[in-house]
Amino acid sequence: MIHAKKIRVLVVDDSAVVRKMITEALSQDNEIEVVGTACDPYVAREKILELNPDVMTLDIEMPRMDGLTFLRILQQHRPMPVIVISSISQAGSRAALDAMEYGAVDVLAKPQSAWNLGDLRDQLARRVKGAVRARLNNLRPSTAKPGIVGHAGAIGNYQARQLIVIGASTGGTEAVKDVLTRLPGGLPPILIVQHIPPIFSKTFADRLNELCAMEVREAVHGDEARPGMALVAPGDFHMVVNWENNAYRVQLRQDPPIHHTRPAVDMLFNSAARCAGANTLGILLTGMGRDGAQGMQQIKAGGGTNLVQNEVGGTNLVQNEETCVVYGMPRAAVELGVADQILPLDHIPHAILHALRERSLNQNGKSAVTK
């Protein structure tokens, strides 16, 4: 009998207790083998040379050399998939986002108790399996700094019911940043689900707000999603949108996880399809799994409620395989036949503006005909 090669993992953490718990949790999966552990980056460097692991889990706060410095050196000289396990403090959240910029595949929240992995236990093996499939070239930070792709006109140039929804997972923090920083202000409301732990999501939104032409912040229950604004779903909360009193408003819910995650892209996309119908523009970026594909199907169907007579549904843009870190969620949408365009990441901002303008022109044309 031929046995599939196991994924070889190196666990790096200064806590012996945490190293032991992570090792035990991963060892329960018969597709994964923990080949070694290290208490700091210097030991880890020797273990990498000796053991040649496929994936590494990495703590940020360690003696002798911090995890961020080690990650930068590692990705320059011996690129490999790295999952950062960081504290959920504000400083830890900022460091975790820095790690994603330096080439980490994924980030997980370190348990608050050194003796209990909590939710981390259920996620570890799945994230390791996703990390090993990552395209490392797409993790390397770009030295180019492309500018905004266009200038939005007056907010009134877009239809009042237009809505942009974005979903992403593995590799998505950088992909979302690349898209949003190239968009002008004044666009229709943007709602974002990025698979990310609690607290990290606020730091993610705050960082985007510093970089983008639009206002970006973590969503609060009952928020109005206004033109010129992007709202990020908080970690551990599903985000849905409704049309209430002539405005889009978001609700945060703690329904059971979908596709092993909360927030789930499908939850947002389904709600957008119901309330925005053909005015929905869905964007699905890099990530493992299938989250978002079924929601895109609903967007194409208009959620069963077509706001414009004789129209089927909204428009879906999907990141292509070549530029994804993990081509999972976009692949699922393509296989389901619900992607209108499959695009390299750097083409998506242009496509967003084009789709919004086409929708506005079509709507204005129909309105003129019916007058």
- Cα–Cα distance, 324 to 274 (Å, whole number): 29
| 259 has catalytic annotation | no
Catalytic, 151? Answer: no
Q: Of the listed 169, 223, 236, 266, which one is catalytic?
A: 169
DSSP for 86-102, please give it: E-SSHHHHHHHHHHHHT
Active site residue 87: no
With tokens 């889009």, the residue in question is 248
Residue tagged active-site, from 13, 106, 266, 291: 291
Residue matched to tokens 């002798």: 64
202/346 Cα distance (integer angstroms): 25
Q: In what side-by-side order are the strands of the sheet with 163-168?
A: 215-218, 229-232, 190-194, 163-168, 280-284, 315-319, 341-343
Distances (CA, A) of 109 to 87, 119, 317: 6, 9, 30
Residue of 195, 201, 238, 271 marked active site: 195
Q: Which pair of tokens denotes residue 28?
A: 């329960």
Residue 253 — φ and ψ, nearest 5°?
Answer: -135, 155
In angstroms, the CA 267 to CA 239 distance is 7
The catalytic site residues sit at 169, 195, 291
